[in-house]
Structure 1
């Protein structure tokens, strides 16, 4: 089975979690999967080309042609395994906020790669290492795509042979809370504010906190406040998201382990019990100058999944 015609009628369902990266000191290294999911249905059809239907977040805004990020990820995967791209019908159900630091672009990339993996089941085997390589090639760095692919807390790093990751279980006492604002933040803008070098003492500071953060997340949640201190990236980006910075300062002064989620402007609070999340949500509601949506989420431990769907009728797949 080596051509697109043999795939006609194949259909898969994909689910990918939101993610939060950096977690304070773990810049471009640490990521956490959250139980909020984008879903995708992809069907191979006989007609060439791609038809994309988007529901939920991004409907009417994101491209519905081959420039769509999910489609680009599918194309990238087929090209990587040396097979022609078949005609596709794609239905996306999006709930992960866009441009808020919750891994929406990483989720789109992982959705496409996982869809291609599922469609090629029994034709080409795409293992976990290749999944991470393909996703990192598109995303540019593995800190968001690693937890999106594999779930849980991930440590991601790069080697001359390609990206690598280690998945860790999170202590059951850790309860993530995310505050999502109405405004978006460009990841490219956030990265542009990052200096090319930092003081030696700041680098040492973050090494210590990153090591402590792993211990706090897997064993000792009571250390989360100290473990989420950072001197590498958040202060440099603060001026671009003043309300985020104000609320993080407020939350940390009140004893909450609050950090910028990814590139922002969302705020991640790593609470040590459910009651702490409620108090943090009340504090933000009473002190913020702009609306914030509080999402009390679980840690997703499964990561991205793909399942075959019942083959559609010939009429549907030929649409």
Structure 2
């Protein structure tokens, strides 16, 4: 039976300062995907939106590879299909574009297989993590809100928490990009004991700040594990983070960068931060967003 489904996946911001490789939030901007199962074998891919001119339209497309991964893991033959994507998440900017593409493929496969195979939330997270390599970006893309992700003997796990309604995210997007692989290569294999303890305290505080006490966001977003090490590769990002924090704003590198996430305590504070950025360097795109609470959605069209 021919199926046509629609998938929406939010952008994400991981790390959130001290929650390195563990914490992430979903943001109210996202990519969309329509998939139609064809009666004959074959693949058609149409890409629109951000980065469309540089994205492959064959089997190497990340969404197609993600769909194929799920079918392969379930021992099913992948049918012919036509994909149309609408990309709104900037690429290589630290907003989880690759994780969201992977989640889009996993959700598309789940939608196409619905009725013959039922996939649990743990299944979806496992398949997405197998492709992404770590769950901190794919967890909020899948489930929305604030997520804490970890891995145990059974595989990746995550816990979703509701974000306090006063938290007002501001995402600052530059025109330049950053390689996640390069960013990770700048991390030392060992860190001082005092820095590890510092981040443990701040990441614990960050959970409280995001869920109950947004007035603590500035102190809760302090970090000593990764941002300073990566700053040498993106000096403009580091300079703007330093400027914002010097003014009392809870600014952190979004994911691997070079975008910046500012976790503001209310809309008024967010407007102040946005005005400061405009005065500092107007080339940064200022996105006034909300926390996405739904995560990835799939529906029959």
Q: Shorter chain as normaliser: what TM range? A: over 0.9
Offset of 1:105 from its aligned partner?
A: 0.2
**Does residue 136 of structure 2 align to residue 165 of structure 1?**
no
Query: What stretches of structure 1 move > 3 A for 4+ residues in a row?
Result: none
Q: Give 1:297's aligned residue.
A: 289
Deviations along 1:8-57, one digit per CA (max 9) or x if unpaired, are x2110000000000000000000000000100000111232211100001
SS at match of 1:60: helix
Residue correspondence of structure 1 range 2-81 to structure 2 within 5 A: 7=1, 9-81=2-74
Query: Aligned Cα RMSD in Å?
Result: 0.7
Offset of 1:268 from its aligned partner?
A: 0.2
Match of 2:129 among 127, 131, 136: 136
CA–CA distance in 2 between the matches of 1:58 and 1:294? 19
Match of 2:263 among 267, 270, 291: 270
Offset of 1:110 from its aligned partner?
A: 0.3
Residue correspondence of structure 1 range 81-120 to structure 2 within 5 A: 81-120=74-113
TM-score by length of 1: 0.93
CA–CA distance in 1 between the matches of 2:242 and 2:53? 36
CA–CA distance in 1 between the matches of 2:129 and 2:169? 25
CA–CA distance in 1 between the matches of 2:205 and 2:157? 21
Q: Give 1:308's aligned residue.
A: 300
Judge which range, 46-55 or 126-135, deviates more: 46-55
Offset of 1:60 from its aligned partner?
A: 1.5
Offset of 1:58 from its aligned partner?
A: 1.8
Q: Structure 2: 5+ residue runs without aligned partners?
A: none
